[in-house]
């Protein structure tokens, strides 16, 4: 049976207080309702910190890449050695998109009538218009968006009203500082579109319950379900440890700062709504999600390594394993997307706190805090 919006939100309200032992799944309509998706667009997508890429994708002054986030064309650009800006990629003259793809430029030139901007968005030249007495170049710069870099990842907040990301992540920063994610360099990235609700994908990445089942041949030997362990969430993050079996040979190289316990597990973390990742030793694997509809989500998957591991012979094996596991999840989530449309599905008890209820409740709690205002 399909539920109306207020019924779905009543369910979500119960997660304002987390009870891991009694946690149940949200009703299927939470994942299939256009009304919920519209509410998410209104209250979540523009108001949160959204990961767009890594700083090592734009190492030099003038390096840039472009993207479109919820109808907002953006340029992510390194303006100086130590500053990254996110600018509107819309020309202030007549609204043309200015830059495409990625590259390096000294200035940003609109293809339509050649208005030219500095790397920081200031207008440098507007041919034949700049003689007009009423023309004020100060008023014609490209607007910039709130930007923050954390762990080498670049985030944007479209509405500019979010509390600083670093404050929201302070607990996670302490947990992960020994891994030196800021110094890691992206060695693999690939984009695809999955036909499922974006929340199903985020939840799937963030629970250990399915590891020994969906990933029997791939992840179960490395990070089996039984060694999953929930850790307490913070304002802007939640996650779990995905433990390695004791007899597993050492996985790759380790930074000398790592403590013995850091070498026994991956730290799986989510910076909701759209960034999920797993850090193990010298490597971080991650997804950035971008919903394109209630049942369609664009996924960027990537791997970054500590720089000295650029020629790591195990890199290709790590990429292959990541691609296989993502393909397994994609196939599984397509089946869930079909099932969620059934009229015969309600809510169900979740697996125990360490395996499922912990992180899924934390996610629901985050969504309750943002959507129920």
Q: How far is the CB of 94 from ligand FES (least distance, A)?
A: 4
CB 74, min distance to ligand FES, A: 16
d(CA 34, CA 31): 9
User: According to CB under 6 A, which residues from 172 to 231 bind ligand FES?
Assistant: none
CB of 58 to ligand FES, least distance (A): 23
Nearest 5°: phi and psi at 257?
A: -75, -15
What does the CA dihedral 221, 223, 228, 230 come to, rounded to 10 degrees? -170
Q: What are the DSSP calls for 99-151, one per residue?
A: --SEEE-SSEE-TTT--EE-TTS-EEE-TTTTTSTT--GGGGSPPEEEEEEET
Residue owning tokens 């199903």:
200
Euclidean distance between the first and the last CA atom of the chain, given in angstroms as a whole number: 26
Give the residue nearest to Fe ion (CB).
329
Partner whose footprint covers residue 91, from ligand FES, Fe ion, none (CB < 5 to 8 Å by kind): ligand FES
How many residues touch ligand FES under the rule CB under 6 A: the total is 9
DSSP state of 287: E
70 contact, one of ligand FES, Fe ion, none, CB 5-8 Å limit per kind: none
The yes or no reply on residue 369 touching ligand FES (CB under 6 A) is no
Least Å from the CB of residue 158 to Fe ion: 29
> Interface residues for ligand FES in 64-123 (CB under 6 A)?
91, 93-94, 96, 110, 112-115
Q: How far, CA to CA in Å, does 39 sit from each of 94, 297, 321?
A: 31, 17, 36
CB closer to Fe ion, 100 vs 216: 216
Structure tokens at 325: 């596991």
Query: Given the complex with ligand FES, which of 127 and 310 has the nearer CB atom?
Result: 127
**Under the rule (CB under 5 A), what is the footprint of Fe ion?**
329
Binding region for ligand FES (CB under 6 A): 91, 93-94, 96, 110, 112-115
């Amino acid at each position: 049976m399909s539920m109306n919006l207020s019924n779905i939100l009543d369910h979500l309200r119960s997660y304002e207080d987390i009870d891991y032992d009694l946690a149940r799944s949200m009703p299927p309509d939470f994942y299939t309702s256009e009304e919920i998706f519209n509410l998410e667009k209104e209250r979540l997508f523009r108001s949160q910190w959204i990961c767009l890429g890594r700083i090592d994708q734009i190492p030099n002054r003038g390096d840039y890449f472009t993207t479109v986030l919820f109808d907002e064309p953006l340029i992510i650009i390194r303006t100086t050695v130590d500053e990254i800006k996110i600018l509107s990629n819309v020309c202030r003259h007549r609204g043309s998109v200015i830059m495409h793809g990625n590259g390096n430029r000294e200035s940003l030139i609109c293809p339509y009538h050649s208005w030219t901007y500095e790397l920081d968005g200031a207008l440098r030249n507007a041919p034949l218009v700049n003689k007009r007495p009423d023309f004020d170049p100060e008023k014609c710069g490209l607007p910039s968006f709130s930007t923050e870099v954390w762990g080498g990842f670049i985030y944007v907040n479209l509405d500019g009203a979010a509390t600083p990301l670093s404050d929201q992540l302070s607990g996670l920063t302490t947990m992960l500082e020994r891994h030196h994610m800021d110094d890691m360099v992206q060695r693999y990235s690939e984009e695809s579109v999955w036909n499922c609700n974006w929340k199903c994908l985020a939840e799937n990445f963030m629970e250990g319950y399915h590891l020994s089942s969906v990933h029997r041949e791939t992840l179960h030997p490395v990070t089996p379900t039984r060694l999953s362990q929930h850790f307490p969430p913070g304002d802007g993050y939640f996650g779990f440890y995905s433990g390695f079996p004791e007899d597993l040979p050492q996985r790759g190289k380790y930074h000398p700062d790592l403590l013995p316990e850091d070498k026994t597990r991956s730290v799986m973390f989510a910076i909701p709504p759209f960034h999920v990742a797993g850090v193990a030793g010298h490597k971080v694997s991650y997804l950035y999600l971008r919903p394109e509809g209630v049942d369609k989500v664009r996924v960027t998957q990537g791997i970054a390594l500590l720089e000295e591991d650029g020629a790591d012979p195990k890199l290709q094996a790590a990429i292959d394993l990541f691609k296989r596991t993502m393909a397994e999840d994609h196939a599984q989530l397509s089946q869930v997307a079909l099932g969620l449309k059934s009229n015969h599905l309600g809510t169900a008890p979740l697996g125990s706190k360490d395996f499922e209820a912990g992180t899924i409740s934390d996610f629901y709690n985050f969504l309750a805090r943002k959507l129920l205002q």
